[in-house]
Structure 1
Amino acid sequence: MTNRRQSSLESAQILLVEDNPGDVRLTEEAFKQAQIENDLHVVPDGTEALDFCYQRNEHEHAPRPDLILLDLNLPQKSGEAVLQELKTDPDLRSIPIIVLTSSRAEADVLRSYELHANAYLTKPVDPDEFIETVHAFERFWFSAVRLPHNGEYS
């Protein structure tokens, strides 16, 4: 098992689960500015996030995400419900899930960690600060952290 970001040319598969078009645009902009190879996939609600992860419906050929950025306040199925389902699935629970939300409520932070979120980031209101938060997240998760390779775990 190797750190695929440092040892291969393969792009990181990142799933962004976000219903706010402005936040999607800012996240896409931040990822475009980054020097780390990534494929950013975007879905607007919790139901579609699960379809993507389970490769069903129109996401039948979706790649397995290397990392998921998950908003909590989503239509159809909440981010909390998505987090709970993915972290209880033996085949998907090892995918790092970063809660990226506007909520600063201590109850949301606590509940996210109880459901085994790997990190909880609060979205800054200022667009430049938002982009810097995404850059900091990228530097940490794709430079410092060792991620599993293609869903293979030992």
Structure 2
Amino acid sequence: MNSDPPGEAIEILLVEDNPGDVRLTKEALKQGDVLNNLHVVKDGVEAMAFLRREGEYEGTPQPDLILLDLNLPRKDGTEVLEEIDEDRELRRIPVVVLTSSEAEEDIAKSYELHANAYITKPVDIDQFIEVAQNLEQFWLSIVKLPPNDE
């Protein structure tokens, strides 16, 4: 079980530039059993601004979980992982890479940069929703997340 009190929403940051994947992820999480607040940014530059609470993201909550696509404009997911890994405050946040890439070098590099999981997005809509719901079930109901020090 999660360490958060019942009824307290889990903060999730989705870093995804594909509007269709954003919509599917929102739908899957809405159908799930865990109360969550999904924050969406569309590229790596926005992701780092959100995580560092800079500019328009000042005052945003620190996420309990990051869902990160690798294929992003401006700053790709690997660069985001590198910056998270170098930041003592941010590296405690679990990162699940959720991407279309099946390249072995992307998988290896993600784990080298301390991604907590690597999942290839299914092409089929129903399978995508199932993966998102399984992610929610595992990461938000079964895994004990680190306390949010805010």
Q: Is TM-score (shorter-chain normalized) higher than 0.5?
A: yes
Deviation at 1:8, TM superposition (A): 2.9
Aligned residues: 149
Partner of 2:52: 54
Structure 1 length-normalised TM: 0.94
1:94 aligned to 2:92? yes
Match of 1:78 among 76, 83, 86: 76
Q: What is the DSSP-based 3-state SS (H/G/I as helix, E as strand, rest coil) of the residue aligned with 1:42?
A: strand
Deviation at 1:151, TM superposition (A): 3.2
Q: For the residues of structure 1 that align with 2:40 and 2:125, how far apart are their CA atoms?
A: 19
Q: What is the DSSP-based 3-state SS (H/G/I as helix, E as strand, rest coil) of the residue aligned with 1:93?
A: helix
Partner of 1:28: 26
Deviation at 1:129, TM superposition (A): 0.1
1:11 aligned to 2:9? yes
Q: Deviations over 1:111-137 (max 9, x none)?
A: 000010000000000000000000111
Deviation at 1:59, TM superposition (A): 0.4
Q: For the residues of structure 1 that align with 2:127 and 2:94, how far apart are their CA atoms?
A: 23
Q: For the residues of structure 1 that align with 2:89 and 2:22, how far apart are their CA atoms?
A: 27
Q: For the residues of structure 2 that align with 1:134 and 1:39, how far apart are their CA atoms?
A: 15
What residue identity is the alignment partner of 1:39? N
Q: For the residues of structure 1 that align with 2:106 and 2:29, how far apart are their CA atoms?
A: 26
Q: CA RMSD in A?
A: 1.1
Q: For the residues of structure 1 that align with 2:149 and 2:135, how far apart are their CA atoms?
A: 21
What residue identity is the alignment partner of 2:72? L
Partner of 1:116: 114
Moved over 3 A (4+): none
Q: What is the DSSP-based 3-state SS (H/G/I as helix, E as strand, rest coil) of the residue aligned with 1:141?
A: helix
What residue identity is the alignment partner of 1:68? I
Uncovered stretches (5+) of structure 1, i.e. residues with no partner: none
Q: For the residues of structure 2 that align with 1:151 and 1:116, how far apart are their CA atoms?
A: 21
Deviation at 1:142, TM superposition (A): 1.1
What residue identity is the alignment partner of 2:3? N
Q: Work out whether residues 64 and 151 of structure 1, in 8 Å CA contact, stay in contact via their aligned partners in 2.
A: no
**Identity rate of aligned residues, in percent?**
59
Q: For the residues of structure 2 that align with 1:127 and 1:105, how far apart are their CA atoms?
A: 22
